[in-house]
């Protein structure tokens, strides 16, 4: 049985312990205070008799559809994409989750970020197989039907590219959306077979300590993974948010390594080879290594750091009147659960705890929120996440000083948004 | 902080307490037993050197897309739709979630069931308003921007039509899929503003005890809701699985009444009127009332009963070899959390506890799973859910005896699937 306090109970607890406090220069409001306080945030006085019948109530609506899509009025909520190699290999590049337009914690599958090294292969699931070989007692091959007979698990986890937020490594802050900077991170409910079951069935030979995982794309994207992770919480994922994994996420099956850099969660998984060390593939030597000022690079940074971003307000939003707003954002950590998120409106001079939306999953997005009264003057918004292991999200200065200028992998430092007196929002390096 | 045991810990606990037991006639296996036991479920011996490079590794893949869709090989996973009034009003009818093809607990937004009384209105969100009036101190009107400034909450909840599973009320069992019978129930992560905030801001006048909620569709679909529910866990939902609520789910806003019959969670919400009693609208007198043998009908059955269905194996699946399978299904209750799901393979003569996938949300789907060894003879599969309030899912006989034959609302009795010796599955009334 579930012994956790319900979200409803947590809200009730908060509301019973209402305090109204001022941050140093900017005013934060507790949830209940915002309710009792003011009409400024909300409805306008209405003349009920004057409510007009809108045109869409005077005509028949459209019928049922076999598979739904968003409203035509949401056509701007899309994955922006970029490819540095568009002319040569149009499938090499990335598209990003538009966090500035989303709420909650689940990423709609249609907006889950993409990062491909040679595009999305068109795989016939009836002809796809997963081979487990190398240092095993008996090599095994699994088709989709065979895999589907194993016990499955469902887990809500983020996938984040090691290059996410790399845009902020540039010396001058780019004036682009939260999704354009931080959109290489998304969350799904993944369902599949624990990899440990399959490895145990193949029988792990003495001396095996790593695996090599290879995808069935034309890049044969492959990565080395320590065996301990493969036997811990790794999964061969077959379903994403209830339906079969999407093509751009590895249809019909992907490796999922919760909390580790996304490139290792190999899509279109076709082969796992047990080895006695890392294979040093092109995909783990030419990329994803972090160059330090002394000329040495950290090659393997697997577990992703504790991180958060404010998604509202952020670049592209406009605060068009003074008064109450709710700051909203997402926080996550490769090390486990988010324990706390602090929010500052004065560039880090003072902090206030945000409310965390439960249940808080391990290695997943946690939505944080905090009512904030904007008085119409300039403000500097930041969020700082702390995970259950005590890891604290670093400042930009603290993080970047470890590496050469422009090092754009594994960036998890604090994002700063500047609010101007006219209500416009800009990306700031602080 | 989250004090709940993690899913991983629950699995570990189960695996530490492994027991292997036989049900009376049919063999259930615990999760670990299935792992240690047999190759019958899984991979085939492989000659690694013989693995061929598939054709999709020899050609460049497709580039990134702005909004993703499922694989073309999944085109059969669609919402079947039916309209009893197709010629007159093509928008009056329903489409259903294909549970037999899904896993996990989240329903992909594109496959969330639909039930419309006059189709999907084409609403311009910039021109849509929500009016709160009637027995309030000050009538208020909210546009989308105003609503978005209120504190929001995210909740994972099912929505289920009162007519779901009504097909099983027919005397002869229909040979159709789990989705065709039970597909008027779906789960999303909903994000929006607690209705209580808005009602408090309007000021509830003395004597108000109900609300009337009206939609902006051409049917002006409207229902009466007790004020206590509106002030408890009701929400004006603005987001569904991270993005704006889909058009067929009420874009740009819907009422959400967790655990209550779906028709009351009024879509395209345009008006809430506070009243001193139920309004007895056409939508709550012509439908959703349960006729008893004495000629009297129960008019208001708001909270939905405890329920479960096995989704694999179910009608349309075929067990093509003997050996290990994992029975998988979903359970839910309008009264709260699922406490237990029992599975029988002998038509209810004996039962065994299924494993529940955590975290277990209130008023949401809980995925249950149980390894099962099919020995190739006929079997009769059933699941029975029990919720945290102690409510037990009834048998078909116990439920239907309360009403006139064919009463097809609020059906939550046990679903029976017959497994034939040839591995085919049929719908059975038991």
Last residue of some domain: B272, B298, B324?
A: B298
Q: Min CA distance, A405 vs chain B (Å)?
A: 29
Residue A4 falls within a domain, yes or no?
Answer: no
Same domain, A254 and A357: no
Q: pLDDT, tens digit, for every residue of B355-405?
A: 999 999 999 999 999 999 999 999 999 999 999 999 999 999 999 999 999
Interface of B with A in 22-61 (CB under 8 A): 31, 34-35, 39, 41-48, 51, 54, 56-61
3-class secondary structure, A252:
coil
pLDDT score at B239? 98
What gap in Å lies between CA A97 and CA B102, rounded to an integer?
A: 24
Task: Give, rounded to a whole angstrom, the gap between the first and last alpha carbons of chain B.
Answer: 46
Q: What percent of chain A has pLDDT over 90?
A: 82
Other CB atoms within a 10 A radius of the CB of residue A62 amount to 14
Q: With beta carbons under 8 A apart, name residues in chain A contacting B339.
A: 1
Report residue A28's pLDDT band, with 50, 70 and 90 as the boundaries: low
Whether residue B54 and residue A127 make contact (CB cut-off 8 A), yes or no, is yes
Residue A60 falls within a domain, yes or no?
Answer: no
Q: What percent of chain A has pLDDT over 70?
A: 89
Report residue A82's pLDDT band, with 50, 70 and 90 as the boundaries: confident
Tell me if B391 sits within 8 A of B306, measured CB to CB. yes
Running DSSP on this structure, what letter comes out for residue B150? S
Does B151 lie at the interface with A, CB-CB under 8 angstroms?
A: yes
pLDDT score at A85? 61
Q: pLDDT, tens digit, for every residue of A47-78?
A: 777 788 999 999 999 999 999 999 999 999 99
Q: What total number of domains does chain B contain? A: 2
Same domain, B155 and B252: yes
Same domain, A274 and A321: no
Q: Which helix (H) or strand (E) holds B157?
A: strand B153-160
In this predicted structure, the answer to whether residue B11 has a pLDDT above a threshold of 60 is no
In this predicted structure, the answer to whether residue B113 has a pLDDT above a threshold of 70 is yes
Q: Exposed e or buried b for every residue in A386-405, given b needs 16+ CB within 10 A?
A: bbbeebebbbbeebbeebee
3-class secondary structure, B369:
strand
In this predicted structure, the answer to whether residue B9 has a pLDDT above a threshold of 60 is no
Q: pLDDT, tens digit, for every residue of B21-54?
A: 233 334 565 444 444 344 445 678 887 777 889 9
Residue A239 falls within a domain, yes or no?
Answer: yes
Kindly state the tokens that stand for A330: 């997402």
**Can you say how many angstroms the Cα of residue A388 is from the centroid of all Cα atoms in its chain?**
18
C-alpha angle with apex B250: A156 to B291, nearest 5 degrees? 100
Task: Give, rounded to a whole angstrom, the gap between the first and last alpha carbons of chain A.
Answer: 46
Closest C-alpha to A124, from B71, B93, B399, B185? B71
What gap in Å lies between CA B417 and CA B405, rounded to an integer?
A: 22
Most distant CA pair in chain A: distance in Å?
Answer: 80
Q: Min CA distance, B127 vs chain A (Å)?
A: 8
The whole model's pTM is what?
A: 0.91
B264-285 average pLDDT score: 96
In this predicted structure, the answer to whether residue A229 has a pLDDT above a threshold of 90 is yes
Last residue of some domain: B281, B298, B315?
A: B298
Same domain, B195 and B259: yes
pLDDT score at B173? 97
In this predicted structure, the answer to whether residue A101 has a pLDDT above a threshold of 80 is yes
Percentage helix, strand, coil for chain A under 3-state DSSP, each rounded to 5: 20, 30, 50
Q: With beta carbons under 8 A apart, name residues in chain B contacting A138.
A: 45
pLDDT score at A172? 96
| DSSP E strand stretches across B301-399 | 307-312, 323-332, 338-344, 352-353, 355-356, 366-374, 379-387
CATH code of residue B215: 3.90.420.10
In this predicted structure, the answer to whether residue A275 has a pLDDT above a threshold of 90 is yes
pLDDT score at A41? 54
pLDDT score at A16? 30
Last residue of some domain: B298, B330, B363?
A: B298
Q: Which of A210-214, A323-327, B17-21 has the highest mean pLDDT?
A: A210-214
The complex's ipTM works out to 0.91
**More confident position, A83 or A276:** A276
Same domain, A314 and A245: no
Tell me how far CA of residue B401 lies from CA of A240, B293, B384, in angstroms.
41, 9, 19
Residue B347 falls within a domain, yes or no?
Answer: yes
In this predicted structure, the answer to whether residue A3 has a pLDDT above a threshold of 80 is no
Q: With beta carbons under 8 A apart, name residues in chain B contacting A328.
A: 152
Tell me if B158 sits within 8 A of B364, measured CB to CB. yes
Residue A152 falls within a domain, yes or no?
Answer: yes
Q: Which helix (H) or strand (E) holds B14?
A: helix B7-16
Same domain, A150 and A228: yes
Same domain, A273 and A135: yes
pLDDT score at A21? 28
pLDDT score at B313? 98
C-alpha dihedral over A67, A73, A74, A76, to 10 degrees? 130
Cis peptide before A313 (omega within 30 of 0): yes
Percentage helix, strand, coil for chain B under 3-state DSSP, each rounded to 5: 20, 30, 50
Same domain, B228 and B144: yes
Cis peptide before A361 (omega within 30 of 0): no
pLDDT score at B89? 76
B212-227 average pLDDT score: 97
The count of CB pairs under 8 A between chains A and B is 437
Does B149 lie at the interface with A, CB-CB under 8 angstroms?
A: yes
Domain span holding position A324: 307-428
Same domain, B271 and B389: no
Residue A405 falls within a domain, yes or no?
Answer: yes
In this predicted structure, the answer to whether residue B1 has a pLDDT above a threshold of 50 is no
Other CB atoms within a 10 A radius of the CB of residue A10 amount to 17
Same domain, A139 and A229: yes
Residue B278 falls within a domain, yes or no?
Answer: yes
Q: Min CA distance, A412 vs chain B (Å)?
A: 22
Residue B24 falls within a domain, yes or no?
Answer: no
Tell me if B270 sits within 8 A of B130, measured CB to CB. yes
Same domain, A263 and A380: no
**More confident position, A112 or B23:** A112
Whether residue A35 and residue B141 make contact (CB cut-off 8 A), yes or no, is no
Q: With beta carbons under 8 A apart, name residues in chain A contacting B73.
A: 124-125, 251-252
Choosing among A30, A84, A103, which should be mutated to test the B contact, i.e. which has the most B CBs within 10 A? Answer: A103
CATH code of residue B372: 2.60.40.650
Other CB atoms within a 10 A radius of the CB of residue B127 amount to 12
Same domain, B174 and B274: yes
């Amino acid at each position: 049985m579930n012994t956790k306090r319900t979200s409803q109970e947590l809200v009730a607890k908060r509301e019973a312990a209402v305090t109204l406090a001022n941050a140093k220069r900017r005013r934060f409001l507790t949830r209940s205070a915002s309710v009792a306080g003011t009409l400024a945030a909300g409805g306008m006085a209405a003349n009920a008799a004057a409510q007009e019948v809108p045109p869409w109530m005077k005509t028949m609506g459209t019928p049922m559809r076999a598979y739904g899509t968003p409203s035509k009025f949401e056509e701007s909520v899309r994955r922006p994409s970029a490819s540095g190699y568009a002319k040569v290999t149009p499938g090499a590049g990335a598209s990003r989750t538009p966090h500035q337009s989303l709420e909650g914690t689940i990423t709609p599958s249609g907006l889950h970020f993409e990062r491909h090294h040679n595009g999305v292969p068109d795989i016939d699931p009836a002809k796809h197989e997963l081979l487990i070989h190398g240092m095993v007692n008996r090599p095994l091959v699994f088709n989709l039907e065979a895999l589907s007979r194993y016990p499955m698990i469902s887990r809500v986890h983020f996938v984040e590219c090691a290059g996410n937020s790399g845009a902020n490594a540039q010396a001058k802050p780019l004036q682009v959306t939260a999704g354009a900077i931080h959109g290489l991170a998304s969350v799904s409910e993944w369902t599949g077979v624990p990899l440990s079951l399959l490895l145990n069935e193949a029988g792990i030979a003495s001396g095996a300590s790593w695996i090599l995982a290879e995808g069935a794309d034309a890049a044969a994207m492959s990565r080395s993974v320590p065996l301990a992770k493969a036997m811990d919480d790794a999964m061969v994922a077959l379903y994403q948010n209830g339906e079969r994994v999407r093509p751009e996420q590895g249809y019909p099956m992907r490796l999922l390594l919760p909390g580790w850099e996304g490139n290792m969660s190999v899509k279109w998984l076709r082969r796992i080879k047990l080895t006695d060390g890392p294979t040093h593939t092109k995909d783990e030597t030419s990329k994803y290594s972090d160059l330090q000022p002394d000329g040495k690079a950290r090659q393997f940074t697997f577990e992703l750091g504790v991180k958060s971003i404010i998604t509202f307000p952020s670049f592209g939003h406009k605060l068009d009147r003074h008064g109450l707003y709710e700051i909203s954002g997402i926080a996550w950590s490769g090390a486990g659960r988010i324990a706390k998120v602090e929010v500052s409106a004065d560039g880090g001079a003072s902090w206030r705890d945000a409310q965390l939306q439960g249940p808080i999953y391990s290695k997943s997005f946690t939505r944080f929120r905090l009512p904030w009264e904007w008085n119409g003057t300039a403000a500097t918004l930041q969020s700082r996440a702390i995970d259950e292991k005590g890891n604290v999200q670093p400042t930009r200065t603290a993080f970047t000083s470890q590496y050469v200028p422009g090092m754009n992998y594994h960036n998890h430092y604090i994002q700063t948004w500047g609010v101007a007196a006219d209500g416009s929002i800009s990306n700031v390096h602080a």
